[in-house]
């Protein structure tokens, strides 16, 4: 069992704070790897070396000259799961420190065992993440000879219909970036807890994006859950998060295709502030919006509405959005906008005069729709 120097230093410092004595941790070769007496770190402790080699239950050193590199005190082997992982040493007079020996030994063994459990769990999580990443990002992964066996060994259940959901936080400028990073860490933990809230659901991180392999659910259920998570994260941690998910439930052999769909949906959601939660089925023009540079999108809008200012453009596109949402019905659109039908007719005529494109004509409606998408993306 390998212990990091950082962990060993943390351990001896905590013990020293309790006992008000110098504490040393010595490896099996007799080298002091951590000590509250900084001058001793890296030196050889021959007393501890003898203790390990002779398999002694403990070693009391009466004076600083008894063993090279050793000082007066008590030294005890640390055994975890039947293996000697090192020696813990308490510097001081025998009468003063010997009574603490067994307590310190048990504390140290418990401390190290807990660290070993954490390391094992972290290693298992890393293996699961690597498997999930391979599964989602490579179409050929499911055809590998040992794919099913590896999944089973990691406790990953394959034979259930799945949905792929992706999420990403939107960066924010802040003077106190340390505070914002702390909030982001908390928001990330909340995100994982909220979405992986049932058995056999998995998550991993790919770059800045969080990917979730969920059990089957309807689109409206996914959107409802994402909306609650989004609002909770914004209210508690002041971070904005966007979501994208696949078209439908799928068997594990189609996970790569579903991953690509969720990725495209998230890309669209990241570029559409007014639509932060999108499913692949929601995408139309949005599929290729990110392929067009912001400069070109701005140029298209400026060219189409060259005789109008920004506020006039926004108002015009809002009219079109409502009109198209009601299948071109002037009466229904006017009712929705709380204006008279003739007023809406007048506004649409003025828009046609300004742009040279009739917002009700089948040949020019796609131009307005494209303008709406571009404006939202900007």
CATH of the domain at 317: 1.10.10.2840
The Cα 120–Cα 168 span in angstroms is 28
What pLDDT, on a 0 to 100 scale, did the predictor assign at position 168? 96
281 and 298 part of one domain: no
210 and 169 part of one domain: yes
Q: Classify residue 168 as left (phi > 0), alpha (psi -120 to 50) or beta.
A: beta
| Inside any domain, residue 136 | no
335 and 280 part of one domain: no
CATH of the domain at 71: 3.30.450.40
Looking at 93, 117, 141, the residue that finishes a domain is 117
246 and 311 part of one domain: no
307 and 266 part of one domain: no
| Inside any domain, residue 299 | yes
| Inside any domain, residue 134 | no
| Inside any domain, residue 31 | yes
89 and 182 part of one domain: no
| Inside any domain, residue 26 | yes
Tokens of 167: 């999420």
Q: What is the pLDDT of residues 57-86, one digit of tens each?
A: 999 999 998 999 999 999 999 998 888 999
109 and 180 part of one domain: no
User: How many independent structural domains does the chain possess?
Assistant: 3
What pLDDT, on a 0 to 100 scale, did the predictor assign at position 243? 97
Q: Are 86 and 26 in contact (CB under 8 A)?
A: yes
The Cα 259–Cα 266 span in angstroms is 10
DSSP for 126-185, please give it.
Answer: HHHHHHHHHHHH-GGGGGSTTHHHHHHHTT---SS-EEEEEEEEEP---S-HHHHHHHHH
The Cα 16–Cα 22 span in angstroms is 6
Q: Count of CB atoms within 10 A of residue 337's CB?
A: 16
Looking at 228, 258, 285, the residue that finishes a domain is 285
What pLDDT, on a 0 to 100 scale, did the predictor assign at position 175? 60
228 and 269 part of one domain: yes
* Burial degree of 324 (CB within 10 A; 0-12, 13-18, 19+): middle
**Does pTM top 0.75 for this prediction?**
no
Q: Are 274 and 374 in contact (CB under 8 A)?
A: no
CATH of the domain at 232: 3.30.70.270
Sign for the CA dihedral angle at 335, 339, 345, 347 comes to negative
278 and 161 part of one domain: yes
What pLDDT, on a 0 to 100 scale, did the predictor assign at position 173? 60
Mean pLDDT across the chain, nearest whole number? 90
Looking at 99, 117, 135, the residue that finishes a domain is 117
| Inside any domain, residue 226 | yes
Tokens of 3: 């212990």
169 and 214 part of one domain: yes
- Show the beta-strand stretches assigned E in 209-349: 209-215, 240-245, 277-279
83 and 108 part of one domain: yes
The Cα 245–Cα 247 span in angstroms is 7
Q: Name the residue range of residue 325's domain.
A: 294-377
DSSP for 100-135, please give it.
Answer: GHHHHHHHHHHHHHHHHHHHHHHHHHHHHHHHHHHH
| Inside any domain, residue 372 | yes
What pLDDT, on a 0 to 100 scale, did the predictor assign at position 1? 66
* Burial degree of 26 (CB within 10 A; 0-12, 13-18, 19+): buried
Counting as low any pLDDT under 50, the low residues of the chain are none
321 and 226 part of one domain: no
| Inside any domain, residue 148 | no
Q: Are 182 and 125 in contact (CB under 8 A)?
A: no
The Cα 263–Cα 243 span in angstroms is 9
* Residues β-bridged to residue 24: 35, 89
Q: Which of 87, 108, 93, 77 is nearest to 21 (CA)?
A: 93
Q: Which of 202, 195, 201, 272 is nearest to 233 (CA)?
A: 195
Residue 32 CA, distance from chain mean position: 38
């Amino acid at each position: 069992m390998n212990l990091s120097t950082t962990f060993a230093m943390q351990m001896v410092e905590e013990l020293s704070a309790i006992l008000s004595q110098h504490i040393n941790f010595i490896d099996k070769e007799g080298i002091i790897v951590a000590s509250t007496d900084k001058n001793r770190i890296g030196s050889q402790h021959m007393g501890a070396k003898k203790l390990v080699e002779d398999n002694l239950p403990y070693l009391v050193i009466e004076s600083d000259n008894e063993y090279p590199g050793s000082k007066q005190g008590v030294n005890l082997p640390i055994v975890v799961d039947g293996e000697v992982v090192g020696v813990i040493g308490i510097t001081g007079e025998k009468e003063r420190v010997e009574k603490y020996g067994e307590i310190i030994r048990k504390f140290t063994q418990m401390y190290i065992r807990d660290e070993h459990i954490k390391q094992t769990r972290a290693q298992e999580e890393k293996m699961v993440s690597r498997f999930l990443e391979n599964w989602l990002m490579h179409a050929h992964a499911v055809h590998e000879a040992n794919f099913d066996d590896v999944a089973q060994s990691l406790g990953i259940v394959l034979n259930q219909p799945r949905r792929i959901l992706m999420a990403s936080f939107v960066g924010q400028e802040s003077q106190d970036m340390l505070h914002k990073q702390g909030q982001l860490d908390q928001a990330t933990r909340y995100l994982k807890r909220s979405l992986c809230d049932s058995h056999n659901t998995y998550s991993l991180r790919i770059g800045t994006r969080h990917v979730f392999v969920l059990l089957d659910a309807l689109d409206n259920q996914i959107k409802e859950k994402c909306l609650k998570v989004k609002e909770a994260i914004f209210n508690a941690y002041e971070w904005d998060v966007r979501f994208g998910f696949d078209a439908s439930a799928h068997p594990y052999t189609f996970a790569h295709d579903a991953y690509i769909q969720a990725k495209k949906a998230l890309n669209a959601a990241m570029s559409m502030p007014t639509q932060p939660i999108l499913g692949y089925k929601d995408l139309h023009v949005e599929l290729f919006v990110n392929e067009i540079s912001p400069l070109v999108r701005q140029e298209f809008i400026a060219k189409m509405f060259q005789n109008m200012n920004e506020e006039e453009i926004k108002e015009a596109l809002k009219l079109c959005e409502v009109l198209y949402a009601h299948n071109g019905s002037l009466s229904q659109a006017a009712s929705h906008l709380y204006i008279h039908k003739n007023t809406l007719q007048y506004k649409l005529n003025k828009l046609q005069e300004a742009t040279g494109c009739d917002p009700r004509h089948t040949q020019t409606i796609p131009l307005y729709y494209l303008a709406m998408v571009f404006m939202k993306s900007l």
